[in-house]
Every structure is written in C-alpha cells, then in structure tokens.
C-alpha cells in the first residue's frame, strides 16, 4: 500500500480486522463516502491534460467515465471541474460551451448545461449576433403628472375670472327663466279664469224673471182679500171648498193670513193642493213634485215605536196618485215642531234629504225617519232596493230666515213654492205681508200662479 493509502487508513476511527478484509470495515454512515475515496482513482477527480487542447472531445471522455458514483453521465463531475477553473465564474448555472468561440469547429458536439446538447455552430452564431436592442427607458408616471400640473399652472390665474363670468351668465339665465315662468303662469291663470267663466256661464241656468213672484195685486183682488180678512160676517161661513181634496176654508180659518197670524192646517194643505195642480197644469215649467199634507209626518213619526210606515203605506198608491214617488224630482214634507213649522225635502235626483228651518234649527230625527220611509216606500211600491247610506243629509242654513215669531208657516209655503219652480229662494222677511195677501187671493181663486 502506498503512502497516500496509508494516510487514508490512518484517518479511520477503528482498526482494520485481523484478516485484512475491508468488507466489514466499510459499514455505517460513512461507508459509501470512504469507499468512493478508496475505489475511485485520482485520475477521475481532475480533468486530463489533453482537455487543454481544442481537439479534445470532452463529451466522449465524460461519457466513458463509469457511472457507478451516480454522477449523471459525468455532468456532475464536469460542473465540479468548471467550479475549480479560474476562467469560469463559481457555481455556473448554464454550461452552454466550455471552449472559446474561436476554438469551436463545425460539426463538433459540446457539453451543455441543464442536460442539453447544442450544435456549436448555433452557439457561435448566437454569440456573434448583435445584442438585442436596449429597451427604451420609460419616464415614471409621477414625473408625467408633475409636468402636467406645472403646465396647468399658467391657467390657474384665469380661474377666478372664468368663475365670475360663469356665475354672471348663470344669474342672467335664472332671471330669464324666472321671467318666462312668471309669464307662463300668468297666461295659464288667465286661460283658467276664462275657461271657468265659460263653464260657469254654461252651467248656470238662465236667470228666471223674478218679477212674476211679486206681481202687484189688482184693486179688485185687493178689495176681495180685504173683505175676507177684515170684513163683517159669520166666522164659520165657508168661503172656499176644494172638491178634489174636500178641504173647506171658512172665514175664521183664512183670517190666519192676517199679519201676526199663525197658519193653520186647512190653509197650508189647501195651498199645497193648489201647487200640485199648478205643476200638473204646466209640467214643462215646474218640477215633478209630490206634496205631502201636514198630517203625514205626524202619522209616520208618532207611532207606538216611533217610526210607523204601515200608518202611511196606503197614502201613495198608484191608483190615488197616478205615479210613484221614485219618479218624482222632489218630495215635500211639512214638519210641525210643536208651535213651529219646518220643511223637509227628499231630493230623489240629487239623493239628499234636506231640512229647512226658518229659525236656523236642525233635527236629526227627521232625517232618520224620512230615510227609512223612502227605502220602505220604494221597496213596497216599486219592488226595488235603494242604498240610502250613500245619500247626504243637508241642513240648509243659507236660506231666508224669519225675524219674528209668527211667519214660520208663510216661510215654509214659500220654500215649497220656490223649490218646486227650481229657482233660488229670493225673498226675505220684508215680503211676508205681500205673500200673505197673495196667498189669500190664490186660495179664493183656487189657483196658484
């Protein structure tokens, strides 16, 4: 054993066996490493001298090395040599070519890194190719923004002037828009007023000549009225007999038409019969109305339980009237409140129940009684159901009112007279004396004008 071998064996930590065999000695964790040192000749640890020649085929030489050490066909060994060389950087990642470009001959094969083999011609051409063009250096975006901001600095001084001009322009535009809006609203208001005036003109019925309500009494009629109201004679003498209703009016009864007199049932009922005949005589001039007498509401509302439809059920048969109440425009019901006369109107067209009191009062009980009555009456006579809940109850307060304690009956009769004509109540307390004398004249003539 040479000197180097002895040195290596002297470095072991345990003695060799007595028989000199090495099999049992190379056991444990360092067996492989120590075996490599002993079994691999030193000639494989360094490149051969011929490797310095350009004609040396390094690939063939490396491939001839036995791969008992697992060096990957010598590539690992080749990288170790390159690391040991002073001409090649330490720990190269790419062994594209181990020789200089001037030493490469066409057709030769050169070892390449990463387990690749390249044609030396391609390697030479690649080395001789001009370098790729340098990438143009791009200016940072912050520098671009900075230069742009400095460029805009010139217009900063003009901002105030532009803002002032813009505000002035906007103010002028607002003023013009406001003026146009005002003019447009004025035009709309004028047009609306004109339209309303036209509609009001069309909606309002032509004004009736009210002079017919205050026609002066002739001298002849005046003398006759004066005689029946203030003349001598028997107070029980019958002055008028209305045969259709069999109503008699004596001198005593008609004297209730004197000033300060309270109207009685005979005078009121006879005048209502005259109004009924007037409507039948001139149907185009007057509304179609029904006039109940002064006893109707007493019968209807004074039963044992208050409301008593059966007591007045036979008052409105078709045989007696010749028509049904549902066909009427208005139904007049005199209501006597102890010593005061009021009027209730059932408006079939407008679907309302109205209450007129010359003293400005109201009575909810009258509404309830008449509402129940019209439902029962229509169902009994016409076999129809009407929904009274949708009807309205009106207490008319804008009506002529009496200013004393005795003209309530006269006011009630004139309410009926004017409503049956379909005109407004255009009279007042100052006309009551005239209406008393005119009513007396019409009763004596048995004809209402």
Chain segment 250-272, per-residue pLDDT in tens: 999 999 999 999 999 999 999 99
Can you tell me the mean pLDDT for 413-438? 92
Q: What are the percentages of helix, strand and coil residues in the chain, rounded to 5?
A: 50, 10, 40
Strand-pair category, 352-356 with 289-291: unpaired
Distance between alpha carbon 287 and the CA centroid of its chain, in Å?
47
The residue behind tokens 């009258």 is 366
**How confident is the model at residue 258, as a pLDDT?**
93
Indicate if 174 and 237 belong to the same structural domain: no
Indicate if 274 and 361 belong to the same structural domain: yes
* Non-local CB neighbours of 205 within 8 Å, separated by 6+ positions: 422
Indicate if 123 and 46 belong to the same structural domain: yes
Give me the percent of the chain exceeding a pLDDT of 90. Answer: 34
Confidence of residue 297 (pLDDT cuts 50, 70, 90): very high
Confidence of residue 81 (pLDDT cuts 50, 70, 90): low
Confidence of residue 110 (pLDDT cuts 50, 70, 90): very low
Alpha-carbon distance of 157 to 150, in angstroms, equals 13
What φ, ψ does residue 443 adopt, rounded to 5°? -65, -40
CB distance 236 to 251 below 8 Å: yes
Say what the alpha-carbon torsion angle 155, 156, 160, 165 is, to the nearest 10 degrees: 20
Indicate if 387 and 273 belong to the same structural domain: yes
Residue 328 scores a pLDDT above 60: yes
Angle 408-421/265-281 helices, nearest 10 degrees?
Answer: 10
Indicate if 320 and 279 belong to the same structural domain: yes
Residue 310 scores a pLDDT above 60: yes
Indicate if 199 and 237 belong to the same structural domain: no
Domain range for 189 is 161-203
Indicate if 123 and 196 belong to the same structural domain: no
User: Is 389 domain-assigned?
Assistant: yes
Alpha-carbon distance of 337 to 353, in angstroms, equals 18
User: Is 424 domain-assigned?
Assistant: yes
Residue 23 scores a pLDDT above 70: no
**How confident is the model at residue 155, as a pLDDT?**
64
Can you tell me the mean pLDDT for 34-59? 55
User: Is 287 domain-assigned?
Assistant: yes
Q: How many structural domains does the chain have? A: 3
Going from the C-alpha of 356 to that of each of 249, 285, 334, 353, 393, the distances in angstroms are 27, 24, 10, 10, 11
Chain segment 270-284, per-residue pLDDT in tens: 999 999 999 999 988
Q: Catalytic positions, please?
A: 340, 357, 408
Confidence of residue 153 (pLDDT cuts 50, 70, 90): low
Alpha-carbon distance of 369 to 376, in angstroms, equals 11
Can you tell me the mean pLDDT for 223-232? 90
Token pair for 345: 């109107």
Task: Work out the mean pLDDT of the chain and round it to a whole number.
Answer: 77
Find residue 354's DSSP bridge partners: 345, 394
**How confident is the model at residue 196, as a pLDDT?**
82
Indicate if 281 and 414 belong to the same structural domain: yes
Token pair for 199: 């509609």
CB distance 307 to 322 below 8 Å: no
Alpha-carbon distance of 238 to 266, in angstroms, equals 12
**How confident is the model at residue 401, as a pLDDT?**
92
What φ, ψ does residue 369 adopt, rounded to 5°? -60, -50
Can you tell me the mean pLDDT for 146-169? 74
User: 361 in helix, strand or coil?
Assistant: coil
């Amino acid at each position: 054993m040479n000197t180097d071998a002895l040195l290596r064996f002297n470095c072991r930590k345990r003695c060799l066996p007595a028989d000199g065999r090495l099999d049992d000695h190379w056991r444990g964790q360092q067996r492989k490493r120590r075996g490599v040192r002993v079994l691999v000749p030193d000639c494989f640890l360094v490149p051969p001298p011929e490797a310095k020649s350009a004609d040396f085929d390094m690939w063939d030489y490396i491939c001839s090395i036995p791969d008992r050490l697992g060096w990957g066909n010598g590539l690992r060994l080749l990288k170790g040599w390159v690391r040991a060389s002073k001409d090649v950087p330490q720990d190269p990642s790419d062994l594209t070519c181990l020789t200089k470009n001037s030493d490469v001959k066409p057709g030769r094969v050169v070892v390449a890194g990463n387990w690749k083999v390249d044609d030396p011609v391609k390697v030479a051409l690649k080395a001789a190719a001009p370098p790729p063009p340098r990438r143009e250096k791009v200016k940072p975006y912050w520098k671009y923004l900075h230069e742009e901001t400095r460029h805009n600095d010139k217009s900063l001084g003009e901002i105030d002037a532009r803002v002032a001009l813009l505000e002035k322009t906007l103010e002028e535009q607002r003023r013009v828009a406001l003026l146009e809006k005002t003019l447009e609203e004025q035009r709309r208001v004028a047009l609306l007023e004109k339209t309303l005036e036209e509609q009001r003109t069309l909606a309002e019925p032509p004004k009736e000549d009210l002079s017919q309500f205050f026609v002066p009494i002739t001298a002849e009629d005046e003398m006759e009225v004066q005689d029946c109201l203030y003349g001598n004679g028997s107070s029980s003498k019958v002055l008028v007999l209305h045969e259709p209703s069999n109503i008699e009016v004596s001198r005593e009864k008609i004297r209730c038409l004197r000033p300060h007199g309270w109207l009685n049932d005979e005078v009121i009922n006879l005048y209502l019969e005259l109004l009924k005949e007037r409507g039948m005589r001139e149907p185009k001039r007057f509304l179609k109305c029904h006039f109940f007498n002064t006893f109707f509401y007493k019968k209807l509302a004074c039963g044992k339980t208050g409301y008593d439809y059966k007591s007045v059920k036979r008052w409105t048969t078709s045989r007696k009237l010749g028509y049904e109440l549902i066909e009427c425009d208005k139904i007049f019901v005199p209501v006597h409140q102890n010593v005061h006369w009021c009027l209730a109107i059932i408006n079939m067209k407008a679907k309302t129940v109205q209450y007129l009191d010359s003293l400005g009062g109201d009575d909810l009980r009258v509404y309830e009684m008449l509402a129940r009555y019209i439902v029962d009456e229509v169902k009994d006579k016409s076999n129809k159901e009407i929904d009274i809940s949708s009807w309205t109850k009106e207490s008319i307060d804008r009506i002529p009112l009496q200013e004393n304690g005795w003209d309530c009956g006269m006011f009630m009769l004139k309410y009926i007279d004017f409503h049956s004509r379909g005109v407004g109540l255009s009279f007042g307390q100052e006309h009551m004396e005239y209406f008393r004398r005119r009513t007396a004249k019409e009763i004596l003539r048995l004809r209402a004008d």
